[in-house]
Structure 1
């Protein structure tokens, strides 16, 4: 891994652990093993490096979700795979946690990949839910966009509740509850 990649990966880790405010250039340099000259050679300061790291987190979230959404099975099965996949629940979502960081939310450039990621995720889930309605798998009265928004909110809220309780079981219960709402009644 070259110095630029080590800087990005170290920043990704630190942002997830400490947030933007708690991630100092010195901490990035120490974790990456890169000097100050390398950092400023590749990036225009902390915000430029943070933007690359946030963008990478967003890309990874999208790629992993898309692999699950495009996998085999019914719509509900694919959404179930996505919602129940293994996550470091008590650490939180590496993208979602950034919404709690005032400096990230106040900076339009840093906020943009976060906003775009959640917009993509909501839209992709809404498309799947619409597909499930059309196939007769889901209730025709289901509102795909509202339901997709609720699913994203359950995930992000599940992280918060699990962290508050110190237990991933709370996250699992939130996911189970959301999936229960997608269950269709047998005729």
Structure 2
């Protein structure tokens, strides 16, 4: 792994662990085993490096979710795969956690990948739900856009509840409840 890649990976980890404010250039350099000159050779500063790390997190999440939602199966099977995927629940979402960081939210450039990712996720879930509706798998009066927003909120809210409780149980209960509600909308 080259120095630029080590800097991005280290920043991804530190942003998840400490947030933007708690992630200092010195901590990034130490974790990446890179000098200050290397960091500033590849990036204009902490905001530029943080943006690269946030974008990488977003890309990785979108790729994994798209793979699950594009797999064969019914809409409910694909959404179930997304909701039940293996996650570090107590670590939280690598993108969603940054939505709670005041510096990230206040800085449009840093916030942009979050907005893009959540917009993409809601659209992608709505597409899968609309497909299920078109194929007669889901009730004809199901609103794909509203349901997609609810599913995204279940995941992000589940992370928050789990972190607050220090247990993955609230997350899993939220997912199970969402799936119960969704399967109640399937057509036999």
- TM-score over 0.5 (shorter chain): yes
- In the other structure, the counterpart of 1:66 is 66
Distance 1:67 1:104 in 2: 28
Closer, same or farther in 2 for the Cα pair 1:47/1:186, shift >3 Å? closer
Distance 1:170 1:17 in 2: 21
Task: Output the aligned Cα RMSD.
Answer: 0.9
SS, match of residue 40 in structure 1: helix
Distance 2:119 2:71 in 1: 21
Cα offset, 1:72, TM superposition? 1.6
- In the other structure, the counterpart of 1:124 is 124
Cα offset, 1:169, TM superposition? 1.3
Distance 1:44 1:185 in 2: 51
**Match runs of 1:29-178 below 5 Å:** 29-178=29-178
Q: TM-score, normalised by structure 1?
A: 0.98
Structure 1 residue runs of 4 or more that deviate by more than 4 Å after TM superposition: none
Cα offset, 1:140, TM superposition? 0.7
Deviations 1:54-110 (A, max 9, x none): 000000000000000111211100000010000000010000000000100111110
| Structure 1: runs of 5 or more not aligned | none
- In the other structure, the counterpart of 2:15 is 15
Matched pairs, number? 187
Q: TM-score, normalised by structure 2?
A: 0.98
